[in-house]
Amino acid sequence: MARTDLLPEYSGWQALDATCQEKSKGASFCGPAPVQAIKEGDTEVDYDVCYFFAAINAKCHVWIHKADGILKPACICTKYTGNNISTKSVGSERCEDITHNYKYPEGSLQEKKILDKVYGRIKTLETTTSSKTEFSSITTALEEPVNLFIQLQSNSSLLLGQDVPISVEVFNPSGGEKATHLVLGAQSLHYGGTPITQLWKKEFHFILKSNEATTLQASVPYSQYIKELGENHLLRLTAMLRDKDSYICFAQEEISICDPPLIIKFPEHMVQYQPATVEISLLNPLTEPLEKCMIVVGGRGLIYRQRKYSGERIGTILLLLSHLGPWGASSTLWQLQEWHFGHLRSASDNSENG
Protein backbone atom coordinates (compact mmCIF):
# COMPACT_ATOMS: atom_id res chain seq x y z
CA MET A 1 0.00 0.00 0.00
CA ALA A 2 1.10 3.56 -0.60
CA ARG A 3 2.24 5.50 2.48
CA THR A 4 1.88 9.13 1.38
CA ASP A 5 2.50 10.18 4.98
CA LEU A 6 6.04 8.74 4.86
CA LEU A 7 9.07 8.70 2.61
CA PRO A 8 8.61 6.79 -0.69
CA GLU A 9 10.78 3.85 0.40
CA TYR A 10 8.27 3.02 3.13
CA SER A 11 5.44 2.28 0.70
CA GLY A 12 4.76 -1.36 -0.18
CA TRP A 13 4.04 -4.18 2.23
CA GLN A 14 2.80 -3.12 5.68
CA ALA A 15 2.56 -5.18 8.89
CA LEU A 16 -0.69 -4.99 10.87
CA ASP A 17 -1.65 -6.78 14.09
CA ALA A 18 -5.33 -6.54 15.01
CA THR A 19 -4.89 -8.62 18.20
CA CYS A 20 -1.72 -7.05 19.52
CA GLN A 21 -0.26 -7.28 23.02
CA GLU A 22 0.90 -3.66 22.87
CA LYS A 23 -1.70 -1.03 21.98
CA SER A 24 -0.96 1.69 19.44
CA LYS A 25 -1.33 5.00 21.30
CA GLY A 26 -4.30 3.60 23.20
CA ALA A 27 -5.99 1.97 20.23
CA SER A 28 -6.47 -1.81 20.20
CA PHE A 29 -4.40 -2.50 17.11
CA CYS A 30 -0.78 -2.27 16.00
CA GLY A 31 0.38 -0.81 12.68
CA PRO A 32 0.33 -0.41 9.74
CA ALA A 33 4.12 -0.54 9.91
CA PRO A 34 6.31 -0.56 6.77
CA VAL A 35 8.05 -3.91 6.43
CA GLN A 36 11.11 -2.11 5.04
CA ALA A 37 11.31 0.04 8.19
CA ILE A 38 11.10 -3.06 10.39
CA LYS A 39 13.98 -4.71 8.53
CA GLU A 40 16.17 -1.61 8.59
CA GLY A 41 15.52 -0.86 12.28
CA ASP A 42 13.87 2.50 11.61
CA THR A 43 11.91 2.28 14.86
CA GLU A 44 10.80 5.91 14.90
CA VAL A 45 8.65 5.44 11.75
CA ASP A 46 4.86 5.37 12.10
CA TYR A 47 3.09 3.28 13.01
CA ASP A 48 4.46 1.04 15.77
CA VAL A 49 7.58 -0.15 13.95
CA CYS A 50 9.27 -0.35 17.36
CA TYR A 51 6.86 -3.05 18.59
CA PHE A 52 7.22 -5.20 15.48
CA PHE A 53 11.02 -4.85 15.53
CA ALA A 54 11.15 -5.86 19.21
CA ALA A 55 8.97 -8.94 18.65
CA ILE A 56 10.89 -10.14 15.58
CA ASN A 57 14.35 -9.62 17.14
CA ALA A 58 13.55 -10.72 20.69
CA LYS A 59 15.66 -13.20 22.64
CA CYS A 60 14.40 -15.94 24.93
CA HIS A 61 16.09 -15.81 28.35
CA VAL A 62 16.15 -19.01 30.43
CA TRP A 63 16.59 -18.74 34.21
CA ILE A 64 17.32 -21.47 36.74
CA HIS A 65 15.31 -21.33 39.96
CA LYS A 66 17.80 -22.59 42.56
CA ALA A 67 16.85 -24.34 45.81
CA ASP A 68 17.68 -21.21 47.86
CA GLY A 69 15.16 -19.20 45.82
CA ILE A 70 17.74 -17.30 43.76
CA LEU A 71 17.12 -16.94 40.01
CA LYS A 72 20.25 -17.50 37.94
CA PRO A 73 20.50 -16.73 34.19
CA ALA A 74 21.25 -19.89 32.25
CA CYS A 75 21.18 -19.09 28.54
CA ILE A 76 19.97 -16.65 25.90
CA CYS A 77 18.42 -18.07 22.74
CA THR A 78 17.17 -16.40 19.56
CA LYS A 79 15.68 -19.41 17.77
CA TYR A 80 12.21 -19.21 19.34
CA THR A 81 11.13 -15.81 18.01
CA GLY A 82 11.17 -14.16 14.61
CA ASN A 83 12.70 -17.03 12.65
CA ASN A 84 9.68 -18.61 10.93
CA ILE A 85 7.62 -15.84 9.35
CA SER A 86 5.57 -17.37 6.54
CA THR A 87 2.52 -16.90 4.37
CA LYS A 88 0.56 -18.81 1.74
CA SER A 89 2.32 -18.45 -1.61
CA VAL A 90 0.50 -16.93 -4.58
CA GLY A 91 -1.09 -19.47 -6.91
CA SER A 92 -0.36 -22.58 -4.85
CA GLU A 93 -0.85 -24.16 -1.43
CA ARG A 94 2.87 -23.98 -0.67
CA CYS A 95 4.02 -22.21 2.50
CA GLU A 96 6.38 -19.36 1.57
CA ASP A 97 9.06 -18.24 4.02
CA ILE A 98 9.21 -14.41 4.12
CA THR A 99 11.50 -14.03 7.16
CA HIS A 100 14.14 -12.40 4.96
CA ASN A 101 11.73 -9.52 4.25
CA TYR A 102 11.59 -8.63 7.97
CA LYS A 103 15.16 -9.18 9.15
CA TYR A 104 18.67 -9.89 7.92
CA PRO A 105 20.14 -13.41 8.35
CA GLU A 106 20.95 -14.42 11.91
CA GLY A 107 24.56 -13.60 12.77
CA SER A 108 25.22 -11.59 9.60
CA LEU A 109 27.10 -8.29 9.51
CA GLN A 110 23.91 -6.56 8.29
CA GLU A 111 22.00 -7.83 11.33
CA LYS A 112 24.74 -6.61 13.68
CA LYS A 113 24.72 -3.19 12.02
CA ILE A 114 20.92 -2.84 12.41
CA LEU A 115 20.94 -4.01 16.04
CA ASP A 116 23.78 -1.63 16.91
CA LYS A 117 21.80 1.23 15.35
CA VAL A 118 18.67 0.41 17.38
CA TYR A 119 20.58 -0.13 20.64
CA GLY A 120 22.33 3.21 20.12
CA ARG A 121 18.97 4.93 19.71
CA ILE A 122 17.68 3.26 22.89
CA LYS A 123 20.65 4.50 24.91
CA THR A 124 20.09 8.01 23.55
CA LEU A 125 16.44 7.90 24.62
CA GLU A 126 17.33 6.55 28.08
CA THR A 127 19.71 9.44 28.72
CA THR A 128 17.02 11.99 27.83
CA THR A 129 15.44 12.85 31.15
CA SER A 130 12.29 14.38 29.67
CA SER A 131 11.39 11.48 27.42
CA LYS A 132 9.82 8.14 28.22
CA THR A 133 11.42 5.35 26.22
CA GLU A 134 9.36 2.83 24.32
CA PHE A 135 12.02 0.16 24.96
CA SER A 136 13.16 -1.50 28.12
CA SER A 137 16.86 -1.76 28.89
CA ILE A 138 18.79 -4.34 26.94
CA THR A 139 19.90 -7.29 29.02
CA THR A 140 23.57 -7.91 28.41
CA ALA A 141 25.00 -11.33 27.74
CA LEU A 142 26.20 -13.48 30.58
CA GLU A 143 29.50 -12.07 31.81
CA GLU A 144 30.79 -15.14 33.64
CA PRO A 145 33.76 -16.91 32.03
CA VAL A 146 32.81 -20.10 30.19
CA ASN A 147 33.92 -22.95 32.46
CA LEU A 148 31.73 -25.67 30.93
CA PHE A 149 30.05 -26.24 27.60
CA ILE A 150 26.97 -28.35 26.80
CA GLN A 151 25.14 -29.28 23.61
CA LEU A 152 21.84 -31.20 23.49
CA GLN A 153 20.77 -33.10 20.39
CA SER A 154 17.58 -34.98 19.52
CA ASN A 155 15.29 -35.52 16.55
CA SER A 156 12.93 -32.62 15.83
CA SER A 157 10.04 -35.07 15.41
CA LEU A 158 9.34 -38.73 16.20
CA LEU A 159 6.56 -41.18 15.46
CA LEU A 160 4.20 -41.95 18.34
CA GLY A 161 5.33 -45.15 20.04
CA GLN A 162 9.07 -44.54 19.70
CA ASP A 163 11.37 -43.82 22.62
CA VAL A 164 12.91 -40.33 22.49
CA PRO A 165 16.72 -40.55 22.06
CA ILE A 166 18.85 -37.86 23.70
CA SER A 167 22.52 -37.15 23.02
CA VAL A 168 24.41 -34.68 25.24
CA GLU A 169 27.93 -33.49 24.54
CA VAL A 170 29.79 -31.82 27.42
CA PHE A 171 33.18 -30.11 27.32
CA ASN A 172 35.51 -28.73 30.00
CA PRO A 173 37.57 -25.88 28.44
CA SER A 174 39.15 -24.88 31.74
CA GLY A 175 42.65 -25.71 32.89
CA GLY A 176 41.58 -28.00 35.73
CA GLU A 177 39.64 -31.14 36.47
CA LYS A 178 35.95 -30.72 37.34
CA ALA A 179 33.47 -32.87 39.23
CA THR A 180 30.18 -32.35 37.36
CA HIS A 181 26.49 -33.11 37.82
CA LEU A 182 24.27 -33.48 34.74
CA VAL A 183 20.46 -33.46 35.00
CA LEU A 184 18.36 -34.42 31.97
CA GLY A 185 14.61 -33.81 31.92
CA ALA A 186 11.54 -33.99 29.71
CA GLN A 187 8.36 -31.89 29.99
CA SER A 188 5.11 -32.06 28.07
CA LEU A 189 4.00 -28.70 26.69
CA HIS A 190 0.90 -26.75 25.80
CA TYR A 191 0.77 -25.19 22.32
CA GLY A 192 2.24 -21.90 23.55
CA GLY A 193 5.21 -23.57 25.27
CA THR A 194 3.85 -23.55 28.83
CA PRO A 195 4.86 -26.79 30.63
CA ILE A 196 2.15 -29.30 31.54
CA THR A 197 4.25 -31.51 33.78
CA GLN A 198 7.74 -32.94 34.29
CA LEU A 199 7.42 -36.52 33.04
CA TRP A 200 11.01 -37.83 33.05
CA LYS A 201 14.31 -37.10 34.76
CA LYS A 202 17.76 -38.69 34.83
CA GLU A 203 20.99 -37.65 36.58
CA PHE A 204 24.68 -38.32 35.92
CA HIS A 205 27.75 -37.67 38.09
CA PHE A 206 31.17 -37.78 36.44
CA ILE A 207 34.64 -36.22 36.33
CA LEU A 208 35.71 -34.07 33.38
CA LYS A 209 39.45 -33.61 32.92
CA SER A 210 40.94 -30.40 31.56
CA ASN A 211 39.97 -29.90 27.86
CA GLU A 212 38.07 -33.19 27.89
CA ALA A 213 34.86 -33.71 25.90
CA THR A 214 32.47 -36.60 26.35
CA THR A 215 29.08 -37.64 24.99
CA LEU A 216 26.30 -39.20 27.06
CA GLN A 217 23.26 -41.05 25.69
CA ALA A 218 19.81 -41.47 27.22
CA SER A 219 16.23 -42.01 26.08
CA VAL A 220 12.76 -41.09 27.30
CA PRO A 221 10.62 -44.28 27.18
CA TYR A 222 7.33 -44.17 25.32
CA SER A 223 5.64 -45.70 28.38
CA GLN A 224 6.56 -42.59 30.40
CA TYR A 225 5.68 -39.77 28.03
CA ILE A 226 2.42 -41.20 26.62
CA LYS A 227 0.50 -40.74 29.89
CA GLU A 228 1.17 -36.99 30.07
CA LEU A 229 1.78 -36.10 26.42
CA GLY A 230 -1.02 -33.54 26.03
CA GLU A 231 -3.21 -32.90 23.00
CA ASN A 232 -0.51 -31.00 21.08
CA HIS A 233 2.08 -33.80 21.34
CA LEU A 234 4.95 -31.46 22.23
CA LEU A 235 7.91 -32.29 24.46
CA ARG A 236 10.71 -30.10 25.81
CA LEU A 237 14.03 -31.79 26.55
CA THR A 238 16.39 -30.05 28.97
CA ALA A 239 19.98 -30.60 30.06
CA MET A 240 21.59 -28.76 33.00
CA LEU A 241 25.27 -29.18 33.84
CA ARG A 242 26.90 -27.80 36.97
CA ASP A 243 30.19 -28.11 38.81
CA LYS A 244 31.07 -27.94 42.51
CA ASP A 245 31.47 -24.15 42.24
CA SER A 246 27.78 -23.91 41.20
CA TYR A 247 28.64 -22.80 37.67
CA ILE A 248 25.61 -23.75 35.54
CA CYS A 249 25.20 -24.22 31.81
CA PHE A 250 21.91 -25.17 30.21
CA ALA A 251 20.47 -26.41 26.90
CA GLN A 252 16.98 -27.26 25.70
CA GLU A 253 15.21 -28.55 22.60
CA GLU A 254 11.55 -29.02 21.63
CA ILE A 255 10.31 -32.02 19.66
CA SER A 256 6.98 -33.03 18.17
CA ILE A 257 5.46 -36.50 18.53
CA CYS A 258 3.64 -37.39 15.30
CA ASP A 259 0.43 -39.41 15.03
CA PRO A 260 0.35 -42.70 13.05
CA PRO A 261 0.51 -42.00 9.31
CA LEU A 262 -2.51 -42.23 7.01
CA ILE A 263 -1.95 -43.03 3.34
CA ILE A 264 -4.62 -42.09 0.77
CA LYS A 265 -4.47 -43.57 -2.76
CA PHE A 266 -6.70 -42.08 -5.45
CA PRO A 267 -7.19 -43.47 -8.96
CA GLU A 268 -4.95 -41.85 -11.53
CA HIS A 269 -7.97 -40.53 -13.44
CA MET A 270 -11.44 -39.67 -12.16
CA VAL A 271 -14.54 -38.69 -14.15
CA GLN A 272 -17.19 -36.29 -12.88
CA TYR A 273 -20.33 -38.08 -11.58
CA GLN A 274 -18.68 -41.49 -12.08
CA PRO A 275 -18.01 -43.68 -8.98
CA ALA A 276 -14.41 -44.23 -7.95
CA THR A 277 -12.71 -46.22 -5.20
CA VAL A 278 -10.16 -44.69 -2.83
CA GLU A 279 -7.89 -46.78 -0.57
CA ILE A 280 -7.01 -45.46 2.90
CA SER A 281 -4.28 -47.23 4.90
CA LEU A 282 -3.43 -46.82 8.56
CA LEU A 283 -0.26 -48.03 10.29
CA ASN A 284 -0.15 -48.84 14.01
CA PRO A 285 3.40 -48.03 15.24
CA LEU A 286 2.64 -49.11 18.82
CA THR A 287 3.35 -52.35 20.64
CA GLU A 288 -0.28 -52.41 21.76
CA PRO A 289 -3.46 -52.91 19.68
CA LEU A 290 -5.71 -50.06 18.56
CA GLU A 291 -9.42 -50.62 19.11
CA LYS A 292 -12.45 -48.94 17.52
CA CYS A 293 -10.45 -46.78 15.11
CA MET A 294 -12.46 -44.09 13.36
CA ILE A 295 -11.27 -42.31 10.23
CA VAL A 296 -12.98 -39.06 9.25
CA VAL A 297 -12.61 -38.28 5.55
CA GLY A 298 -13.66 -35.01 3.99
CA GLY A 299 -13.38 -33.14 0.73
CA ARG A 300 -15.66 -30.63 -0.92
CA GLY A 301 -17.12 -31.94 -4.18
CA LEU A 302 -16.22 -35.60 -3.54
CA ILE A 303 -19.53 -36.99 -2.26
CA TYR A 304 -22.36 -36.50 -4.76
CA ARG A 305 -25.80 -35.72 -3.25
CA GLN A 306 -24.59 -36.70 0.20
CA ARG A 307 -24.21 -33.76 2.53
CA LYS A 308 -24.14 -35.21 6.06
CA TYR A 309 -22.92 -38.37 7.74
CA SER A 310 -23.56 -39.24 11.41
CA GLY A 311 -23.92 -35.61 12.44
CA GLU A 312 -20.54 -34.65 10.99
CA ARG A 313 -19.96 -31.51 8.94
CA ILE A 314 -20.93 -31.25 5.27
CA GLY A 315 -18.78 -33.30 2.92
CA THR A 316 -17.37 -35.78 5.46
CA ILE A 317 -17.79 -39.49 5.99
CA LEU A 318 -16.86 -41.85 8.83
CA LEU A 319 -14.93 -45.06 8.23
CA LEU A 320 -14.47 -47.59 11.03
CA LEU A 321 -11.67 -50.10 11.68
CA SER A 322 -12.62 -52.45 14.52
CA HIS A 323 -9.13 -53.73 15.45
CA LEU A 324 -5.54 -52.97 14.48
CA GLY A 325 -2.87 -55.16 16.05
CA PRO A 326 0.61 -54.11 17.27
CA TRP A 327 2.85 -52.97 14.41
CA GLY A 328 -0.03 -53.83 12.12
CA ALA A 329 -1.44 -52.12 9.06
CA SER A 330 -4.97 -52.06 7.76
CA SER A 331 -6.69 -50.66 4.69
CA THR A 332 -10.25 -49.68 3.95
CA LEU A 333 -11.96 -48.69 0.70
CA TRP A 334 -14.00 -45.53 0.27
CA GLN A 335 -16.50 -45.26 -2.58
CA LEU A 336 -16.93 -41.69 -3.78
CA GLN A 337 -18.61 -39.91 -6.67
CA GLU A 338 -16.95 -36.66 -7.71
CA TRP A 339 -19.39 -33.90 -8.59
CA HIS A 340 -16.96 -30.97 -8.99
CA PHE A 341 -14.42 -30.82 -11.79
CA GLY A 342 -10.87 -29.47 -11.61
CA HIS A 343 -8.37 -29.83 -8.76
CA LEU A 344 -9.93 -31.29 -5.60
CA ARG A 345 -8.48 -32.10 -2.20
CA SER A 346 -9.28 -34.78 0.34
CA ALA A 347 -8.30 -34.64 4.02
CA SER A 348 -8.51 -37.36 6.65
CA ASP A 349 -7.91 -37.77 10.37
CA ASN A 350 -8.10 -40.72 12.73
CA SER A 351 -8.85 -41.38 16.40
CA GLU A 352 -9.06 -44.56 18.48
CA ASN A 353 -10.09 -45.94 21.84
CA GLY A 354 -7.35 -48.20 23.17
Question: Among 24, 50, 27, which residue's Cα sits nearest to residue 37?
Answer: 50
In DSSP terms, which residues pair with 348 in a beta bridge?
297
Q: Are residues 22 and 115 in the same domain?
A: yes
Average pLDDT over residues 157-179: 91
Which of 235, 258, 281 is the C-terminal boundary of a domain? 258
Phi, psi of 96 (to 5 degrees): -105, 125
290 vs 173, residue with greater confidence: 173
Percent of the chain with pLDDT over 90: 37
Distance, CA of 15 to CA of 24 (rounded, Å): 13
Residue-wise pLDDT for 89-126, tens only, equals 888 878 999 999 999 998 899 999 999 999 888 888 77
What is the band of 139 on the pLDDT scale with cuts at 50, 70, 90? very low
Mean pLDDT of the chain: 81
Q: Are residues 14 and 130 in the same domain?
A: yes
With b for 16 or more beta-carbon neighbours within 10 A and e for fewer, the 168-185 pattern comes to bebbbebeeebebebebb
What is the band of 301 on the pLDDT scale with cuts at 50, 70, 90? low
Which of 222, 243, 258 is the C-terminal boundary of a domain? 258
Q: Please give the torsion angle defined by the CA atoms of residues 231, 236, 237 and 241, in that order, rounded to the nearest 10 degrees.
A: -150
Q: Are residues 200 and 292 in the same domain?
A: no
User: For the whole model, what pTM was predicted?
Assistant: 0.72
Q: Is the pLDDT of residue 134 over 60?
A: no
Q: Based on the number of CB atoms within 10 Å of its own CB, is 262 exposed (0-12), middle (13-18) or buried (19 or more)?
A: middle
pLDDT of residue 156: 87
Out of 126-130, 141-145, 238-242, least confident range: 141-145
246 vs 46, residue with greater confidence: 46
Question: Among 297, 277, 291, which residue's Cα sits nearest to residue 350?
Answer: 297
Out of 1-5, 181-185, 276-280, least confident range: 276-280
Give ∠ CA 118-124-125 in degrees, rounded to 5.
90
**Into how many domains does the chain fold?**
3
Q: Are residues 2 and 137 in the same domain?
A: yes
Q: Is the pLDDT of residue 221 over 90?
A: yes
Which of 258, 283, 302 is the C-terminal boundary of a domain? 258
For residue 155, what is the domain's CATH number? 2.60.40.10
Query: Is the torsion defined by CA of 337, 304, 294, 197 positive or negative?
Result: positive
Q: Which domain holds residue 198?
A: 149-258
Please, how many CA atoms are within 13 Å of residue 215, restricted to the half-sphere of its CB?
5
Q: Are residues 67 and 94 in the same domain?
A: yes
